[in-house]
Amino acid sequence: MPARQVSDILNDIRSVHRKLAARYRELNAAASDERVKLLLEDMQHREQQFEQCVGQYVSDDGSAILDTWLQFVPEEGIRIDRIADWLAEPKDLAGLVAETLAVNAALCETYRAMAKEAPTPELHELFLSLAQLEEQIDCHYAKVLLD
């Protein structure tokens, strides 16, 4: 497995969330169901917030963590920038949420794998925090489905 710098991994994560937000914006423009449109707006907003959150961390020039190299990056981490490509054209609200939950689960699994391999407590905490944020988003979407 190749080594990757933490700053590159975080930039890939930001890219995934930008792609997801753009995808939800596209779907919103094509949607006719008001419930779907509202959910898409919410999903787009959450993806933008997640991307901005990681972006603030990346722009912290004083963080030595960003310069850290991870020697054994999980294979999923190498392909993290392609996860957003999993999205298909959802047929309904339930399909859209199920699709998003699958993407979030893949991201969460990747973050947990990277946390496990992290060489420092700070990196472990960073990737664990990202996994927990994804899980919070999952809970929100699961509630949407139940309502």
Q: Summarize pLDDT for 20-33 with one digit per residue, the tens.
A: 888 888 888 888 88
Q: Mean pLDDT highest for which of 24-33, 81-90, 96-105?
A: 24-33
86-103: average pLDDT: 74
Q: What is the CATH number of the domain that holds 27?
A: 1.20.1260
Q: Give the C-alpha separation, 66 to 5, whole Å.
A: 7
Structural domain including 60 reads 4-146
More confident site: 77 or 139: 139
Q: Give the C-alpha separation, 66 to 56, whole Å.
A: 12
Q: Give the C-alpha separation, 69 to 18, whole Å.
A: 24
Q: Give the C-alpha separation, 19 to 64, whole Å.
A: 27
User: Is the Cβ–Cβ distance between 91 and 55 less than 8 Å?
Assistant: no
Number of neighbouring beta carbons within 10 Å of residue 35? 12
Question: Model pTM?
Answer: 0.78
More confident site: 91 or 113: 113
- Domain total for the chain? 1
Q: What is the pLDDT of residue 144?
A: 67
